[in-house]
Amino acid sequence: MRVERTFGHIPGYPEGSCFGTRAELSHSGLHRPRIAGISGRGHCGANSVVLAGGYEDTEDCGDEILYTGHGGRDPETGCQVAHQTLTRGNLALACNKRYGLPVRVIRGAREPSPYAPTAGYRYDGLYRVDAYWREVGKAGFFIWRFRLCKIVELPHQGSTTATLSPPHKV
DNA sequence: TCCATGCGCGGCC
DNA sequence: GGCCGCGCAGTGG
């Protein structure tokens, strides 16, 4: 299947759109992977990410998110048992920063955050990867951390200072 | 090929 | 009835 690298909003699914399960979320096109939290591959950039409480080091401050990269977890316990590497989805997010690509953010009810929905999953708009770095996580292993900042889109107050260009087709 | 931030069912409180 | 924990399925990057 030919997969277009669609960054930015998905027509028909505005910010605030809610979904019951990952399958529905996948069908919408907002976030195709049915399990993985990062949608994207290495050098192509990441289309979207999901916050669902999977990684303890993630911090959600609403318009700013410290998102944890994937990898290094024990598949059974979900605990960090190894260092994360800058590959796969982590590398994709790094490319978002490098090329200024927006990433869709979806919050799930499992995320321990006041900004998380009470049930299911909710599309919370576009963020940009402001920075990323490696640090030691709570479990004592290196993790990759990405600072996501919400892209504020002015409704239609003329073409005033839109600090971040709304992502059209790339 | 391998990896990934689910989901449902059953048991216990 | 609701919460929690275990076990398994299965698609896309």
What averages of pLDDT result for each successive group of 10 residues across chain A (170 residues)?
70 95 95 96 93 93 96 84 95 96 96 91 97 95 97 68 42
Q: How far is the CA of A79 from the C1' of B9 (A)?
A: 24
Q: How far is the CA of A159 from the C1' of C11 (A)?
A: 42
Q: How far apart are CA A168 and CA A170, in angstroms?
A: 6
> A105 with A49: CB under 8 angstroms?
yes
Q: Is the CB of A69 under 7 A from strand B?
A: yes
Q: How far, CA to CA in Å, does A138 sit from each of A3, A20, A143?
A: 36, 31, 9
Q: What's the angle, vertex CA A168, arms to CA A88 and CA A1, rounded to 5?
A: 50
pLDDT digits (tens, 9 = 90+) for A72-114: 988 777 888 899 999 999 999 999 999 999 999 999 999 989 9
Percentage of residues in chain A with pLDDT exceeding 70?
Answer: 88
Q: How many CA atoms lie within 13 A of A165 on its CB side?
A: 8
Query: Which amino acid belongs to residue A152?
Result: V
Q: How far apart are CA A40 and CA A92, in angstroms?
A: 6
Q: Is the CB of A43 under 7 A from strand C?
A: no
Q: How far apart are CA A161 and CA A140, in angstroms?
A: 42
Stated length of chain A: 170
Query: Which amino acid belongs to residue A147?
Result: R
Q: Is the CB of A83 under 7 A from strand B?
A: no
Give strand pairing partners of A59.
A66
